């Protein structure tokens, strides 16, 4: 249950898979990251011409990854519905004509959509290089991205058997008690999947007590990689705007103080900064945005923590 003053929101099932699909389209950056673009569903075919239509395609141009997106409901059978559907999508995604189609769709979106174009510009990718950059990403194996309202044991086990990497994100729906037309949706913090076989397949880290997605600023403070009161900086220049420098203070509870507000995560603090600078961006990766006085990002410090052997 979520409570706002006297208003209560209770967890509710999605009305349909289509409802979940639309929620993902409207909020894709909260799963696939702030440097991602989202292409709508398109029919693709296997080598023998069997057609299949994924719910969408996400391309993370910053991380150089792309996703076959299949929004699902937990009550759908893994074996009769999800597994055969995703298998066809994987086979179809490897066809040359599919890759060409996706590149064409991305280029068309770049040309028509200023928000998409801004993401390429922020990464210093010139218009003449867009097709090449997207083409290079699509040549890589896709990640199977599954937003879903709950994860079963069979779904976890099946995902771990695939050659291709799989990320499962849980997205929840809440409706206001006695006013079902008022709806809110819950997305995972900091893009955290419920299951990430890409992360699981990496070599075991020295520090096995904590996983990458679970690292918080308090962990960096406890490891003496950050100190309470330390200043972190972020420099941001919006399109057609003036470059600004922001300074955030690390607080004892692991939050950041910026612009006279406290933010529970680096990404929320970074988003407040870039929007203050005039950006219309909806998400940003605070772990790569904030730096200490040694020019180390929070992501660098997180890697240092994860690769430091545990002490007894």
DSSP codes, 248-303: EEE-TTS-EEETTEEESSHHHHHHHHHHHTT---S---HHHH-B-TTS-BHHHHHH
Mean pLDDT of 99-117: 96
Mean pLDDT of 119-134: 95
Mean pLDDT of 97-114: 97
Q: Is the pLDDT of residue 204 over 60?
A: yes
Q: Is the pLDDT of residue 309 over 80?
A: no
Q: Is the pLDDT of residue 159 over 70?
A: yes
For the segment 242-261, what is each residue's pLDDT rounded down to a tens digit? Answer: 889 999 999 999 999 999 99
Mean pLDDT of 152-179: 96
Q: Tally the residues of the chain.
A: 312
Q: Is the pLDDT of residue 312 over 60?
A: no
- Convert 167-201 to b/e letters by CB count within 10 Å (16 or more is b): bbbbbbbbbbeeeeeebebebbebbbbbbbbeeee
DSSP E strands: which ranges in the chain? 2-4, 7-12, 36-40, 44-45, 51-52, 56-60, 65-69, 143-148, 166-170, 172-176, 179-186, 195-196, 231-236, 244-250, 256-258, 261-263
With CA atoms as reference, report the closest residue to 37 among 63, 74, 18, 15: 63
The predicted model scores a pTM of 0.90
Residues whose CB falls within 8 Å of the CB of residue 39, separated by 6 or more in sequence, listed in order:
56, 57, 58, 59, 102, 105, 106, 109
Q: Give the pLDDT confidence score for residue 311 in this predicted structure.
A: 58
For the segment 77-95, what is each residue's pLDDT rounded down to a tens digit? Answer: 999 999 999 999 999 999 9
Domains of the chain: which residue ranges? Answer: 8-200, 215-302
Contact 246, 273 (CB under 8 A): yes
For the segment 36-65, what is each residue's pLDDT rounded down to a tens digit? Answer: 999 999 999 999 999 999 999 999 999 999
Q: Model confidence at 114, in pLDDT bands (50, 70, 90)?
A: very high
Query: What is the chain's mean pLDDT, rounded?
Result: 93
Q: Give the pLDDT confidence score for residue 207 in this predicted structure.
A: 65
Percent residues over pLDDT 90 in the chain: 86
Percent residues over pLDDT 70 in the chain: 97
């Amino acid at each position: 249950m979520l409570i706002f003053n006297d208003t209560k929101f209770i967890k509710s099932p999605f009305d349909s898979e289509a409802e979940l699909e639309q929620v993902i389209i409207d909020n894709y950056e909260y799963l696939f990251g702030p440097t991602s673009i989202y292409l709508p569903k398109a029919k693709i075919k296997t080598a023998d011409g069997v057609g299949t239509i994924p719910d969408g395609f996400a391309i993370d141009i910053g991380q150089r990854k792309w996703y076959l997106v299949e929004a699902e409901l937990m009550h759908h059978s893994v074996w009769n519905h999800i597994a055969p559907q995703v298998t066809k999508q994987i086979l179809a995604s490897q066809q040359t004509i599919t890759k060409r189609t996706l590149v064409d769709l991305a280029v068309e979106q770049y040309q028509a959509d200023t928000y998409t174009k801004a993401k390429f510009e922020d990464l210093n990718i010139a218009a003449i290089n867009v097709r090449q950059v997207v083409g290079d990403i699509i040549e890589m194996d896709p990640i199977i991205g599954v937003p879903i309202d709950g994860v079963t044991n069979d779904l976890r086990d099946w995902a771990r058997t695939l050659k291709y990497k799989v990320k499962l994100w849980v997205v929840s729906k809440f409706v206001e008690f006695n006013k079902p037309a008022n709806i809110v949706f819950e997305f995972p913090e900091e893009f955290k999947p419920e299951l990430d076989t890409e992360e699981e397949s990496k070599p075991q880290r020295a520090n096995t007590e904590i996983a990458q997605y679970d690292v918080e600023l308090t962990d960096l403070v406890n490891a003496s990689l950050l100190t309470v009161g330390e200043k972190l900086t972020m420099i941001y220049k919006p399109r057609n705007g003036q470059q600004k420098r922001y300074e955030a203070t690390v607080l004892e509870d692991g939050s950041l103080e910026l612009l006279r507000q406290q933010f529970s995560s680096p990404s929320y603090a970074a988003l407040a900064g870039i929007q203050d600078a005039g950006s219309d961006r909806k998400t940003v990766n605070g772990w790569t945005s904030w730096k200490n006085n040694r020019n180390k990002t929070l992501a660098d410090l997180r890697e240092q923590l994860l690769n430091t052997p545990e002490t007894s």
